[in-house]
Structure 1
Amino acid sequence: MPASLIDPADLATIEEQLGRLPRGLIRVAWRCADGHPGVVVTTPRLPDGTPFPTTYYLTCPKAVAGCSTLEAQGVMAEMTRRLSWDAELAARYAAAHEAYLADRRTLGEVAEIDGVSAGGMPTRVKCLHVLVAHALAAGPGVNPLGDEAVELLREFPFGECLGAR
């Protein structure tokens, strides 16, 4: 398992953001415009041995709240429907799935979750939080539906966290 590169001040902030002690943290992958951690990278196997497929974990409370609102508004279902008829989008989303797996493999191999990314990739959308975390950590152009969700979040209080991204 890779060693944690989390600064103690960031760890305290992340614990406050989550309302619990975070597990399996490696590093901060993206920061809000004000410098606070917004996305962290986690180990593919937690310290207690549990396989954990969520490599990129959204910690910014404004982003988490915004994603939950978008999910409640039916954005996931609409995105999943688009994957069924938009071949180009489906191909780009499948590529995002492969990129996610490649990133996780650099952190370690976990047979139980080999080939399983997160957020419903590559065929559906089941968690905007994961897609947004991936889009923010990887940068624009890697996860098309994560990028779309990030743009939708600009209209929420999270928009101020995005800065110039």
Structure 2
Amino acid sequence: MVAEQLGRAPRAIRAVAARCPSGHPAVVQTSPRLEDGTPFPTLYYLTCPRLTSLVSTLEASGLMKEMTERLADDEELAAAYLAAHHAYLAERDAIEPLGTDVSAGGMPGRVKCLHVHVAHALAVGPGVNPFGDETLLRLADGWPGGGCES
């Protein structure tokens, strides 16, 4: 199913971390290294085509720039985002340490990829990744919704 969603063979999948309301995979957890040993720091990967498309539309709107700018002005938000970064690293390092403090999605200094933040938020639940949670709220009218094709 994940290969069908991605249109290619998936790499380094460990588990389905979250599902669409229809039961299809929405997020997969990946290994910290690819099969050939190459580091792959993205622990959670969004696979739901509908959700991926909706997130891409938000990215194209310039939302990531606005979110990054808010980090400089909102200490509480910046602290929550830093905590999300540390939580992400701790989860990944519990599987296999990569010896780096690079997590994903630009954490903790900028917002680079909303797909990563949404995947993280869906995998671990609300209250951990503030930008993942915020993005999901912005998408509430379009996802989740029933009748997901895949």
TM-score, structure 2 as length reference: 0.95
SS for the counterpart of 1:140 is coil
Structure 2 matches for 1:76-155, cutoff 5 A?
76-111=64-99, 114-155=100-141
**Aligned runs of 1:44-55 on 2, under 5 Å?**
44-55=32-43
Q: 2:9 maps to what in 1?
A: 21
Task: Give the superposition deviation at 1:63.
Answer: 1.0
The list of structure 1 runs, each at least 4 consecutive aligned residues, that deviate by more than 3 angstroms after superposition, is: none
Query: 5+ unaligned residues in a row in structure 2: which ranges?
Result: none
1:73 aligns with 2:61: yes
Residue type of the alignment partner of 1:124: R
CA distance in 2 between counterparts of 1:48 and 1:94 reads 31
CA RMSD between the two structures: 0.9
Shift in Å, 1:159: 3.1
Residues 1:62 and 2:50 aligned together = yes
Measure the CA separation in 1 of the matches of 2:104 and 2:41.
6
Distance in 1, matches of 2:118 and 2:11, equals 20
Distance in 1 between residues matched to 2:37 and 2:144, nearest whole Å: 36
Q: Report deviation, 1:48.
A: 1.4
8 A contact 2:21–2:144 mirrored in 1 = no
Aligned length: 146
The amino acid that maps onto 1:116 is V
